[in-house]
Structure 1
Amino acid sequence: MTNVYLAGPFFDDEQISRIERAEKSLAANPQVNRVFSPRLSEIAGLTMGTPEWATQTFQMDVHQIDEADVVVALVDFVDDQVDSGTAFEIGYAFHSDKPIIVLHEKDTILNLMLAEGLHAYLQKAESLAAYDFTNLPESHYHGKVF
């Protein structure tokens, strides 16, 4: 059974809808044991934006990446850009030798660092429900990069 860290922005309705679809698809996958989604893991009693909130949130998220078997990263943000927090999570996971499954639903150009660092490339959140997290089949991005 696989433990998943779900990275991705959740700052507006479109992004929240996308991450909710990913959460639902991962929950439907019988090979997934647990999903850590930062969107659902705010620390009670802390005020967002305070130094204490920032430190504890950072430490929690890094710890959860360490505990995960794989990172699923939603890279759609604004135009061709990835959210900076998601980019950090992807880089940290890559350096930690975690397989990174990139979900890229929009028709945008992917940054070469993401394209080269991923283990599997998916274009629909629903694909996560059937993805083989036991064998982790590789797939690659074949579009333009910048």
Structure 2
Amino acid sequence: MTNVYLAGPFFDDEQISRIERVEQALAANPRVTNFFSPRKSEIPGLTMGTPEWATQTFQMDVSQIDQADVVVGMVDFVDDQVDSGTAFEIGYAFHSKKPVVILHEKDTTLNLMIAEGLHAYVQEAEALAAYDFSTLPESHYHGKVI
């Protein structure tokens, strides 16, 4: 069974809709024991944007990546640009030798650092419901990179 960290932006309605679909797919996957979604993990009693909130949120998220077996990263943001927080989480996971499964639903060019650092590449959130997180089959991105 697998513990998953879900990295992805949730700043507008489209992103929230997409991350909710990923959360549902991970919840439906029988090989996922648990997943951590920062969207659902706000720290009670802290005001968003304050230094205390920033420090505690950063520490919580990094700790959750450390505890994860795999990171799922949603790389669709605006055009060819990945959300900077998501990019950090993916890079931190890669450096920590965690497999990174990239979800790339939009028809955009992928940054070479993401393309070269991923373990598996999927193009639909729903595919994560059936992905075998126990054996972690490898797949690669074959499109254009920047």
TM bracket (short chain):
over 0.9
Q: After superposition, where does 1:1-146 map in structure 2 within 5 Å?
A: 1-146=1-146
User: 3-state DSSP class of the match of 1:39?
Assistant: helix
C-alpha distance in structure 2 between counterparts of 1:91 and 1:129, whole Å: 24
C-alpha distance in structure 2 between counterparts of 1:35 and 1:93, whole Å: 15
Q: What one-letter code is carried by the residue in structure 2 that aligns with 1:63?
A: S
Q: What one-letter code is carried by the residue in structure 2 that aligns with 1:81?
A: Q
Gaps of 5+ in 1: none
Gaps of 5+ in 2: none
Q: What one-letter code is carried by the residue in structure 2 that aligns with 1:97?
A: K
User: 3-state DSSP class of the match of 1:101?
Assistant: strand
**TM-score (normalised: structure 1):** 1.00
C-alpha distance in structure 2 between counterparts of 1:29 and 1:128, whole Å: 7
What is the Cα deviation at residue 89 of structure 1? 0.1
Q: What one-letter code is carried by the residue in structure 2 that aligns with 1:74?
A: M
Q: After TM superposition, which residue ranges in structure 1, 4 or more long, deviate above 3 angstroms?
A: none
Counting aligned pairs with the same residue, the percent is 83
What is the Cα deviation at residue 103 of structure 1? 0.1
**TM-score (normalised: structure 2):** 1.00
Q: What one-letter code is carried by the residue in structure 2 that aligns with 1:30?
A: P
